Structure formats: C-alpha cells, structure tokens
C-alpha cells in the first residue's frame, strides 16, 4: 500500500473552481499531482453517470466542485446540481458505493488556497483508504484483462 498513488478525477465548473484552480497555479501553491481536472461549463452539466464512468475506469476518488450557492455564472446551475447530488449520494450510499470517495465542494474563483486544500485532503484521505477494490473488481480494465471464463 506504500506505493499506492490514487487516481482522482475532478469534475469542475469553468467559472469558479476551474478559475480557482488557475489561481492556485498563479499563486504557485503546491498540491498533489494525482488529481486531474475535467472542465465542464457548470456543475449543472455534470451528469451523475459520468461519476459512475470515472469509478468504472479505475478512479479511486472523485472531486466534484463548482461555484458557491448564489454565485453560479448561470445563476442556478449549481442549485440544480446540488439537488442532484443530494439524491445521487443517497442512492450511492444505499447501493454500497463508498460516498467517502466522492468529495463535493464549492470552490470559488478566488479560493485558490481552498482548491489546494481540497485536493491535498482528498488525496491524503484516498491514499489512506487504498484502491477502490470493490469497484475495481467490476471495472472496464478487469474485463479487458480477464481470462476467458467458462461460466460468466
């Protein structure tokens, strides 16, 4: 477990968190390289299925982040996203998907330091939790590697 480098995908909105992460860079604040960002126009655009795809393709952790309530560039996208997350998180929890591995946050364009904190804390936490074994068992890569089996 010592060498475990977690794979973490961050789904962020363009206007707040992406810009916030830009500010982290501009401020030269260091954070772990494990997190890679995928840019969305708005958290409202983030489909719950894309989170499932991330786990299926071997992500050990996920960060979803956007504008603080009332700050959405599109005025309400993050409110809709928040409802969706509340429900989806409930469903994940009920079906035994480890919600500890998905971090939801509001990081504004001004919160460069918060972004570094969010990343570092998440990486540390996932590192401690280890690889997402349960999901890895059914991941795409597993199917690709698997030997021909007789009975499913």
Query: In whole angstroms, what is the distance from residue 82 CA to residue 88 CA?
Result: 10
53: Cβ–Cβ under 8 A, 6 or more apart, which residues? none
Angle at 79 between CA 31 and CA 66, to 5 degrees: 15
Residue of 6, 17, 61, 88 interacting with another protein (CB under 8 A):
88
Question: How many residues make contact with another protein (CB under 8 A)?
Answer: 89
Query: In whole angstroms, what is the distance from residue 86 CA to residue 89 CA?
Result: 5
Q: Is 141 in the site for another protein (CB under 8 A)?
A: yes
Q: Is 14 in the site for another protein (CB under 8 A)?
A: yes
Contact 115, 20 (CB under 8 A): yes
Query: In whole angstroms, what is the distance from residue 140 CA to residue 82 CA?
Result: 29
Q: Name the residue nearer to another protein (CB basis): 1 or 28.
A: 28
Residue of 6, 17, 21, 126 interacting with another protein (CB under 8 A):
21
* Six-digit token string for 76: 């309400």
Residue of 1, 2, 3, 137 interacting with another protein (CB under 8 A):
137
Least distance in Å: CB of 84 to another protein? 6
Q: Is 128 in the site for another protein (CB under 8 A)?
A: no
Three-state DSSP state, 36: strand
Q: Is 124 in the site for another protein (CB under 8 A)?
A: no
Q: Is 18 in the site for another protein (CB under 8 A)?
A: yes
Residue of 4, 53, 128, 130 interacting with another protein (CB under 8 A):
53
Q: Is 132 in the site for another protein (CB under 8 A)?
A: no
Residue of 6, 17, 61, 106 interacting with another protein (CB under 8 A):
106
**DSSP 8-state secondary structure symbol assigned to residue 52:** H
């Amino acid at each position: 477990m010592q060498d475990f480098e977690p794979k973490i995908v961050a789904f962020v909105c363009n206007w707040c968190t992406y810009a916030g992460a830009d500010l982290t860079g501009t401020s030269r604040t260091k954070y772990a390289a494990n997190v890679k960002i995928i840019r969305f126009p708005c958290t409202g655009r983030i489909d719950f299925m894309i989170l499932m795809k991330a786990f299926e393709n071997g992500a050990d952790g996920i960060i979803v982040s956007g504008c603080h309530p009332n700050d959405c560039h599109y005025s309400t996208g993050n409110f809709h996203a928040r409802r969706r997350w509340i429900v989806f998180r409930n469903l994940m929890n009920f079906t035994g998907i480890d919600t500890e591995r998905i971090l939801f946050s509001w990081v504004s364009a001004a919160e460069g330091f918060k972004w570094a904190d969010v990343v570092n804390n998440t990486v540390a936490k996932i590192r401690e939790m280890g690889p997402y074994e349960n999901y890895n068992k059914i991941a795409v890569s597993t199917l690709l590697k698997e030997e021909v089996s007789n009975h499913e």
